[in-house]
């Protein structure tokens, strides 16, 4: 049973992303993702200017006048969203966590696919496959996908005060409650992300070419060979979800932190300029390494900051890709 808060968030996301899709994104999506081939539509009389190579000589002989075969693009595509719902996605420094950004991205892509009559599916993963929804069409199906991504968050049952700002509801008692719930939920269980398992599952369930959006913060290793293998058969697009605060550590003195993936707890001195610079450099190098690795695997990469616009990076990618395929 979904909580009233989840239902409310689904409606808000539908209103916000639905408008962006209808006004901006759907056309860009359509121009980039072409159909998988051409299919026969009809035979019609030849008119001057038609390509003579399309003349159907058998029909023309029977009718006593030239007829041509008309083909249309087989537009229907299969789109699969691979969404990371591991604990590290819970990080957020402003109004939106990385998980919430991943949810909105999923909604934008799902509604764009539905707008263009494509099939859309969902695979949620952490250290294994959490849930799989086979690709289908329809508005209700797209809304189900958004609900599933939201409902998999570790803070699903946290009750927020009506009218309270997103910033403050991440503080105080609500934050402590979410942290305790995360600790209890993951006790004795490996919380480390395993992208490879999700990619291997795709190999098993996708029997025809699909467009795959892999949405994660990619705090994992050992998946590149599987990604490259999947890319040979499908169109894999990786979406890296970051938060700008991961590159810009604020001076708040001595800070106790826990690695959401490994559970390791340690203290860092954010008052040290050398420590802050090392954190910034390490984060920047990780992103640059990911870009190089994905480029070598032949996989496109979209980089998104959870604190900013989500539609702008998607549009920039669609425009860049459109220029590339012309």
Could you please report the per-residue DSSP string of 9-24?
HHHHHHHHHHHHIIII
DSSP type of residue 55: B
Amino acid 175: pLDDT: 41
Query: C-alpha 215: how far from its chain's center?
Result: 4
Judgement on whether residues 100 and 222 belong to the same structural domain of the protein: yes
Amino acid 266: pLDDT: 80
Question: Average pLDDT of 218-245?
Answer: 93
Judgement on whether residues 151 and 168 belong to the same structural domain of the protein: yes
Amino acid 3: pLDDT: 56
Confidence of residue 171 (pLDDT cuts 50, 70, 90): very low
Amino acid 159: pLDDT: 34
Judgement on whether residues 164 and 194 belong to the same structural domain of the protein: yes
Residue 65: pLDDT over 50: yes
Please, what is the average pLDDT of the chain? 79
Judgement on whether residues 24 and 52 belong to the same structural domain of the protein: no
Query: C-alpha 247: how far from its chain's center?
Result: 22
Judgement on whether residues 268 and 120 belong to the same structural domain of the protein: yes
Judgement on whether residues 52 and 123 belong to the same structural domain of the protein: no
Among residues 23, 49, 74, the one where a domain terminates is: 74
Judgement on whether residues 119 and 203 belong to the same structural domain of the protein: yes
Tell me: the pLDDT tens digits for 29-61?
766 676 555 556 678 899 888 888 889 999 999
Judgement on whether residues 58 and 189 belong to the same structural domain of the protein: no
Judgement on whether residues 169 and 66 belong to the same structural domain of the protein: no
**pTM across the whole model:** 0.72
Count of domains for the chain:
2
Judgement on whether residues 144 and 184 belong to the same structural domain of the protein: yes
Among residues 18, 48, 74, the one where a domain terminates is: 74
Among residues 50, 74, 98, the one where a domain terminates is: 74
Judgement on whether residues 102 and 160 belong to the same structural domain of the protein: yes
Burial of 107 (0-12, 13-18, 19+ CB in 10 A): buried
Judgement on whether residues 62 and 171 belong to the same structural domain of the protein: no
Nearest CA among 81, 92, 90, 157 for reference residue 125: 81
Confidence of residue 275 (pLDDT cuts 50, 70, 90): confident
Amino acid 157: pLDDT: 38
Domain of residue 109, residue span: 4-33+76-325
Residue 216: pLDDT over 90: yes
């Amino acid at each position: 049973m979904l909580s009233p808060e989840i239902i409310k968030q689904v409606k808000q996301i539908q209103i916000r992303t639905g408008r962006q899709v209808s006004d901006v994104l759907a056309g860009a999506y359509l121009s980039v993702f072409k159909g998988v081939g051409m299919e026969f539509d009809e035979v019609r009389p030849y008119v001057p200017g038609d390509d003579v190579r399309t003349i159907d000589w058998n029909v023309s002989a029977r009718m006593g006048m030239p007829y041509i075969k008309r083909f249309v693009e087989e537009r229907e595509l299969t789109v699969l969203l691979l969404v990371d719902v591991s604990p590290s996605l819970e990080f957020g420094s402003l109004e939106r966590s990385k998980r919430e950004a991943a949810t909105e991205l999923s909604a934008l892509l799902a509604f764009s696919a539905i707008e263009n009559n494509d099939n859309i599916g969902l695979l949620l993963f952490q250290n294994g496959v959490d849930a799989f929804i086979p690709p289908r069409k329809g508005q209700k199906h797209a809304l189900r996908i958004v609900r599933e991504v939201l409902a998999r968050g570790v803070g699903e049952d946290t009750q927020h005060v009506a009218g309270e700002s997103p910033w403050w509801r991440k503080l105080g008692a609500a934050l402590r409650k979410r942290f305790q719930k995360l600790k209890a939920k993951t006790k004795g269980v490996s919380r480390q992300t395993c992208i490879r398992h999700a990619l291997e599952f795709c190999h098993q369930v996708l029997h025809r070419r699909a467009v795959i959006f892999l949405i994660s913060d990619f705090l994992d290793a050992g998946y590149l060979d599987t990604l490259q293998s999947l890319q040979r058969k499908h169109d894999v697009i990786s979406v890296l979800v970051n938060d700008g605060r991961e590159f810009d550590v604020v001076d708040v003195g001595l800070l106790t932190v826990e690695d959401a993936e490994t559970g390791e707890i340690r203290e860092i001195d954010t008052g040290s300029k050398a420590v802050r610079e090392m954190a910034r450099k390490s984060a920047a190098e990780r992103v640059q390494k990911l870009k190089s690795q994905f480029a070598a695997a032949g996989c496109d990469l979209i980089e998104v900051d959870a604190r900013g616009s989500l539609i702008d990076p998607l549009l920039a990618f669609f425009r860049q890709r459109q220029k590339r395929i012309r």
